[in-house]
Amino acid sequence: MTQTALIVGASRGLGLGLVAEFLSRGWTVIATVRDASGEAALRALAGSGRLTVRHADVTSDADIDRLVSEVPEPLDLLFINAGIMGPPDMLSASVEEIDRVMRTNAFGPARLAWALMDKLREQTGVLALMSTGMASIADNTSGGYDIYRASKAAQNMLARSLWIGSARARGVTVLSVNPGWVRTDMGGPGGTIDVETSCRGMANQLAANAGAHEHRFIGWNGRELPW
């Protein structure tokens, strides 16, 4: 049976890497980008004959509604990869910048996840949201990038509420995933792993947790993170 994944936010970096990884595993993949400029790298991937590209911005209710109407069911995997870093500290941030980070990193992904929950395959479907080790309150010993940290911690909380509600009722596993410190535009050149290693590890963890019927905060390497 061919498995189907919807990967949201796939024009570059980890999203693009996840699409490449799942295509290499023989999956049918639906990938979203915000506009046509993000399509070229996806179209060039090996296996793109099994790829459908859609346009969607997670902060737009109209885009969410359209995507829900376009996506077939059932989905075996919904992976929402949306994130911006924002200003480095609270004092340098405007209210508008804070609002943009929170909508992009937390509330937009959560609203999309809620809207698409009924599309996920019962009992074995997996909903994954791209979190970060910086979302761990227990592991925050250095501070910095407070708004980004808070937005991803909020995303984790919203993911837990979603699991307690409709996800658990459908037997859908929810994963808040830390990709590691990856060499991407956001992670910078000092990252400890490359995109391919992170995406291969994340895909392995998604497969290993299908049917777990839990909400877990895990890393690309299977490490359980403290909340």
pLDDT band at 92 (very low <50, low <70, confident <90, very high): confident
- For residue 2, the model assigns a pLDDT of 87
Question: Model confidence at 48, in pLDDT bands (50, 70, 90)?
Answer: very high
Start-to-end C-alpha separation, the chain: 36
* CATH code, 4-219: 3.40.50.720
| Neighbouring-strand partners of residue 51 | 29
Structural domain spans, the chain: 4-219
Report which secondary-structure segment, H or E, holds 22.
helix 13-24
For 48, the token pair is: 């793109």
Tracing tokens 């595993």 back to the chain, one arrives at: 25
Residues contacting residue 1 through CB under 8 Å, at least 6 positions apart: none
Determine if the pTM surpasses 0.75: yes
**Whole-number pLDDT of residue 188:** 72
Query: So what's the pLDDT on residue 8?
Result: 98
Least confident of 169-173, 179-183, 209-213: 179-183
Return the DSSP state at 104: I
